Amino acid sequence: MKAGKVQLRADAKIREGQSLDADEILFRNLPGKPPADFPTGPEILQTLRRLVALLKETRKIRRPVILSYSVVSDQQMQTLNRDFRGKDRTTDVLSFSQVEGMEFPDAGQLMLGDIVISRTQCMRQAREKGHSADRELLILSIHGLFHLLGYDHETSEKDARQMEGLERRLLNRYLKEEPPSAS
């Protein structure tokens, strides 16, 4: 996975004359049917749409955004983690920001970047924490979104507390609000 994938997709839309004024989530899931206790592709997309809308509202991002989101195997995640972070082991979530440190002007589409989730690691952590894979995937997705915006829990204890607070507030708001009904 390359961080430039989102930019290439936007460029192709412009060449094809398509509008860039709506949020877009580029989603890639593992092939085959997911385990019974893991959300389906359409369920993940519905969650991501709500999360992106809430994130934009809380962070005052007025532009339409593009987000690339992939669910991968532990082996794929280990390869990415090794190649991009120099850590030869699997991890739960990786984020490749395209906006880290940028201001968010009101014009044009904002390419956030890529979030990659290990399905196996997500399910493992859900079991360890005693909650559903849905909830763990939600937590990991929120974590990845804040990394895309430039937040980093590994730089200092203060930064970690700030990021955790923002994540907790977004999670609570997501859980509190009812999803929009399908028309």
pLDDT tens figures, 118-152: 999 999 999 999 999 999 999 999 999 999 988 88
d(CA 144, CA 1): 15
- H/E element, 26: strand 24-28
d(CA 64, CA 175): 23
Residue 130's CB: how many other CB atoms inside 10 A?
Answer: 7
Domain ranges of the chain: 19-176
Structure confidence by residue, pLDDT tens digits, 148-177: 988 888 888 888 899 999 999 999 999 998
70 three-class SS: strand
Q: Quickly name the fold that domain 19-176 has.
A: Collagenase (Catalytic Domain) (3.40.390)
- Contact present, 117 and 92 (Cβ < 8 Å): yes
> With a threshold of 0.85, does the pTM exceed it?
no
> Pairing state of beta strands 110-118 and 93-97?
antiparallel
> So what's the pLDDT on residue 62?
84
Q: Look at residues 6, 12, 43 and name the one whose alpha carbon lies nearest to residue 24.
A: 6
